[in-house]
Structure 1
Amino acid sequence: MFAIGSTLFALATAPGFPGWAGAATADTLCFTGSWFFTTAAWIQLVRSDRTRWFDRAAAATQFAGTLLFNLSTGAAVWAHAVTEQRDYVWTPDATGSALFLISGVLGMAAVGMPDLRSRDWCAGAINLAGCVAFGVSALAAFIRPDGVTADEWLANFGTFLGALCFLAAALIVLPRFARRVRA
């Protein structure tokens, strides 16, 4: 589910794609991708180790962030038609990105000391890099009082880069059997 959501976010924000396909198409892909993220985060929360505080806190924080991305991406679909709603896009996006950063740090705490041989540690580090990229994207997506995005290119590129990181992290932790079947 994380891989599917990441792929949709990456496609929607790939350099040149929003200009070619249009903002409505890009926003719809992100909105759809956000539901895959939320479903995966819910499953991760339900399956998280209740005895390990960092695991549970990381999963809960990530799930809350995905809910806010559902709100912001849903608002973005309609915000181009209703200018007054553009503020409803940025606030949940920035808050969701902050929660993703917290979940990424908690996730790294859960996997422990750096170990480049550990799939979990590598996936956690790449996931955290994606969280940072989404955070940069959220800052760049700030809507100025004149209704213009602070830095649309950086907002899209940060989302694109973050989505690629999330995709890589999701693929790294696939069970070995599933990776062999897909190869």
Structure 2
Amino acid sequence: MFSDNTLTPREATRLCALGTLSEGPLKYAELAREIRAFISYIIGPSLEVLASSIELLKYEDLIYQSKTDGDNGEEILAITEKGTKEFHLLLTAGLRPSDSDLNKLITALKFRFLNQLNRQEQTEQISLLEYTFTEQLSRLSVLHSQHSKDKGSFSIWLDREIKELEGKLLWLRKFNEELASN
């Protein structure tokens, strides 16, 4: 993890792999395909993110070969207890206050696997996202006030970014209220 307890690209991939296996065992190729597809659909193909190895997860005892598919001898992988703990640690890690592709991926992963946390942890994760988006909104608002009289399209672009963040915050707050009331 980065020093601020946020995920590196490699750890985001680990979160995707471990979370996917936490839903049930998969064939090796199916897991690799699922990881690649999910990450590529969210942020596009990225060697930096996709470079993490399933073999390394096995070596670190986070996943194991639970059995072999009798038809073609392909490994069927499952998550270990150590892997489950690592998954939980990664899922509850912080989020950097930026609008990067990595943050978009981590946010998507948090929502994908949110149901695997208890109710309190779920609301904590949504609050973390609210805080992150509020920080982004604050920075952009300051930037907007500093450049409101500039010629060109910068303030128009900032207006759109600010509206998008305000919409995300509104949606997150409603989602968190619904989560708390269930």
TM-score range, shorter chain: 0.3 to 0.5
The structure with the largest helix share of the pair is 1
What is the TM-score normalised by the length of structure 2?
A: 0.38
What TM-score does the superposition give when structure 1 sets the normalisation length?
0.38
Higher normalized strand content (fraction of residues):
2
